[in-house]
Amino acid sequence: MRESERRLLEATCHTMTNGRCFVTLDGDRVGRQVERFILSNSLDELGAFSAAVTGFVQSVASAVEDAGGRVVFAAGDGLLAEVQRCDALLTQLRRMSSSAPFMVSIGVGSDVVLAFLALKYAKAIGGGVTVWGISGPDGVGFSVLPPEPAKVRPAEPGAAADGGGT
């Protein structure tokens, strides 16, 4: 992350949430990858992928707890957490996500509903990004942070052009 992006992230976190926020994270097209392993009878690869997904989510949960946050939900390829210092943790989670064994979308908000809506928006625009849910007098809006450089990966073989799935 460039220094200017880091400063913007810190200022946004503090201004929008008074430092406290909810973070939700979910793998993109993980179900499609599982289907591909099953349909090609690649059970050893499926097991290895499952272990990698589980390990990634556990490492994210540990990072949240190490930062003093509270993990509300951590299962499958997803996580929901409440954190007090979202700027530092979000920088770390974005870095971790860029090296995950699958693409990851992150939603952030001052409450759990905004974080969830931000995650849904991140997935709707193609995934692999971090989105802030912002509530204002005109309703809910979204601010998209670009993916970390290592996050941009070539499409998986046989992936659907529409990017559907979860």
Q: Indicate the pLDDT class of residue 146, thresholds 50, 70 and 90.
A: confident
The 10s digit of each residue's pLDDT in 40-75 is 999 999 999 999 999 999 999 999 999 999 999 999
What is residue 22's predicted lDDT score, i.e. its pLDDT?
95
What range defines the domain where residue 67 resides? 3-149
Residue 7 has pLDDT above 60, yes or no: no
Q: Are 105 and 129 in contact (CB under 8 A)?
A: yes
What residues are paired with 26 via a beta bridge?
A: 78, 105
pTM assigned to the model:
0.78
Query: For residue 131, is it within any domain?
Result: yes
Predicted local distance difference test score (pLDDT) of residue 139:
86
Q: Which whole-number Å values give the CA distances from 101 to 33, 35, 105, 116, 136, in the listed order?
A: 11, 16, 13, 22, 36
The amino acid sitting at 40 is: S
Based on the number of CB atoms within 10 Å of its own CB, is 91 exposed (0-12), middle (13-18) or buried (19 or more)? Answer: middle
Q: What is the pLDDT of residue 4?
A: 53
Asked if the structure places residue 163 within a domain, the reply is no
Query: What distance in Å separates the CA atoms of residue 121 and residue 143, rounded to the nearest whole number?
Result: 10
Looking at the domain assignment, is residue 162 inside a domain? Answer: no
Specify the CATH number for the domain of residue 64. Answer: 3.30.70.270
Helix or strand (DSSP H, E) at 108 = strand 104-109
